[in-house]
Structure 1
Amino acid sequence: MTSRIPFLDLGRFSDDVKKDLVQKFKQILNKGIFSGSDEVFLLEKQLGEYLGAPYVVSCANGTDALEIALRAMEIGIGDEVIVPAMSWVSTAEVVHLVGAKPVYVDTDGDGLLDLKLLDRAYTPMTKAIIPVHLYGKMVDMDPLMLWARSHNCKVIEDAAQAFGAFQERISAGMYGDIGCFSFYPSKNLGALGEAGAMVCKDASVAEKLKMLINHGQIHRDQHIMIGRNSRIDTLQAGFLNIMLPYFDDWQSKRKLLAQIYKSQLGDLNWLKLPNDLKSTSHSIHLFVIKTVFRDQLKAFLHENHIDTAIHYPLPIPYLKPYKVTCEFPKSLKISKEILSLPLNPWLSEEEVLRICEVIKKFKV
C-alpha cells in the first residue's frame, strides 16, 4: 500500500530535536516558573541577534502582535489602514479590532500588495499600511517605505510567514515602524503552540509594546495605560530557544526541496511555479503553484495519497465579515488557481520526487 505524504507532520521532528524539547520541558518543570523567566529573555536576545533587531518584544501569537502594533502606533477609530486583499484574515481582523477601517488593495501576480495601486487607496484618513510578505516572499520594501514616509503613514510589516527572509541584508519586519512575527507550529520557525513577537528600532516604541502586552504596566501594579495579557508562554519560549539553532539547516532543506520541484515541474506549461526561490528575500514558507485546473489537480493528488492545501480560498474582502463592494480581480483570480504543495524540512527528497511524478501524470 502506498503511504500517504502529509502536507505537514510535525511528529517527524528528528530524534535529536525531540530529545532536546523533552529536556527543555523537564528543565522548566523543575524550575517551576511558567510565565516570564530567563527563557523569555534568552529568546528575545536570540531573535534580536538573528534578525538584526535592536528591540524584540515577544507575545502570545502573531495576531496579537499585529493588533498591539496598531495600538502602539495609536491607530483607532476614524483611521484607515491599507491592507492587501490577499492574506490570512488576521491582517484585516486586527484593523477592525482597534476600531479602524481596512482599505483593501489588489495584489500583483505573486499575491503581494500592488504598490502601483497605493495612491488610489490613499485618503486623508489613511494612517498606516500593513504589507504582508505572503508565502515568505517579501514585498519590495524600499519603494513602499518611500511612499509611506511621503504620505506620513506608519508601516507595520506582517512578517508572520517570512521569518528568515532578508532584503538587501535587512530582515523582514525591520523596514517598517514595527514588524510582526508568528511562531505558530506550522511556520518556518514554529513553537509547539501559539507564540509571536514584534520587532522595532525605537526604544520608546519597544517600551510601549512591553506595557501593552502586560496589562499596561510600567512596573508591577503600576498601570499607566489600558493593555492586555499577551505575554508569551514560558514553555513556548523555551521550545523556540531549542528550535532556533536548527533553523538555518531547515531553511537549506526547504530551498533544496523547492529546487527539486522547480527542476521537475518547470516544463509543464499548464502549471505556474513560484519565482525568486533562491533569493534571500524569500523564506519559502509555502510552495504555491498556480493552475486553472487547481481543483482537479488537488483531487488527483489526494487520490494518489498526497495531501495539499489552499492558502487562501477567498481574498479577505470576499469573506462575509469583511465584505466590501469593490472588486479585486487579481486576488480573486489567484485564489481560484493556487495550490500549496508539501514543503517542509521533514519531507524526504524521494517524497518530493514522488509528488512530481504524480503531477506529471495528471491529464489536463
Structure 2
Amino acid sequence: MVVGLTGQTGAGKSTLTKVFADMGYAVIDADKVARTVAADPDVLLRLCAVFGDEILRPDGTLDRRLLAAKTFSDKEQLEKLNAVMNPPIIEKIEGQIRELQEAGEQKILLDAPTLFESGAQRLCDCKVSVLANPELRKERIMRRDGLSSKEAEDRMSAQHNDRFYILRSDYILRNNGSEQELLDQGRLIAKRMGSGADGGKKERGPGMNLLIWAAIILACIVVIGGAYKLMLHQMYPQKYEEIVSACAQEYNVDENLVYAVIKCESGFRPNVVSKADAKGLMQITEETFDWVNSKMPAGEKASYDEIFDPEVNIRYGTYLLSLLLTEFDSAENALTAYHAGWGNVKKWLQDERYSSDGTTLENIPFPTTSDYVDDVLQAQKAYQSLYS
C-alpha cells in the first residue's frame, strides 16, 4: 500500500508524517527528493535556462529561497518550475517505491506537498489531505520559515483552496485545534489503512465455524427485508456523491440535507427547469445565483451559463443553504427561506401571526412552502436512516 499525504502549507503535514512513521510506514519525502533532483547538473542547467543564472549561489548551488520568491507569487512561473522539476522527481519517487517494495516494505507513505499538481497521486493507493484555516496556516508558516506576512500570503495564494483537496482525497483531516487532536486523527487513519495492508491470510480460530453459521442465518434475515430496503434506496438515491460530500464538508452543511433538497427540488434531474425559471439539481434562479455569487469567495465563482453543470449547481445550492443556516436559527427557517425567499422569512418572523418569539415560525403562510419544508425534513431523516 502506498499512501499519498499532502495538504496546504502550514496545515500540519509534517506532524502527520511522524505519526505514519511511528505506525510502521516507510516514508518517502518528496521535498528531499526535489532537493536531490535540483542538485543534478542537468536539472540546474534547465532551471537556469528558464529563470536565469541569478538563482545560483556563488558556489554554484541552487538558491532555493530566491527561486521560491520568483515562483510562488506567479502562477505562470510556478508552472514553468513544475514543468522542469516534476518529471525527474516522479521518476525518482517511482524508483524509491520499487526499492522499498523489493525490500519487503508493505506500507509506504509518500509525503508530497504537490501530490496532485505533479501527478504523483497515480502512484498511490490512497490519498490523505490535511487542511487548516488560513489564519492559522499563515501564523505557522511565518513562525516555521521566518517569513514576513507578505511572503507567507504569497506562498499561500499559490496553493489551491479546500475544495481542490476534498474532491481528490480519500481522507480529509482538519488541523484547527491542538496538535494532540491532529495526532489522534492521524493515528486513527493510519491504523485503519494499515490494518488491511499486509494482505495476509489469518488462520481460522476454533469459534470460526459457529460464526460462519451465525452469519448465514443473519444473511437469511437480511434477505427477507432486502426488497423493502432496496425500494427505499430507489426512493432516496445517493447520486453525485463525490460532489455532495465535498461541498457539504467545505460549507459545513449536513450531506443528508443536501441530498434531501436535491430530491425534493429536481428528483436528481440535472437539466430540469421550473415554471419560475429555477434551474438544475437544486433549482436556482438567476437572481438567486447572482446574490450567492456576490458572497462566494473570488476563486470559486462561476457563471450562470454553467448552472446545469452538477458541480456548479450543487456548490451554489449548498453554499446558499449554509448562508441561510447561518442567518436563521433552525433548518426549518432556512428551508423556508430557500423556498419562499430570505425577505419573506425576515418579514414573517416579525409578524406575531406567524412567530411569537421572532425566531421560530409557528405558521408558514404559504401552504406550498410549508409542504416543501415538511417533505425536505422527512427526506433528510430518510437519508440519515438509510446511509448514516
Q: Which structure is higher in helix share?
A: 2
Q: TM-score, normalised by structure 1?
A: 0.26
Q: TM-score, normalised by structure 2?
A: 0.25
The structure, 1 or 2, with the larger RCO (C-alpha pairs under 8 Å, 6+ apart) is 1
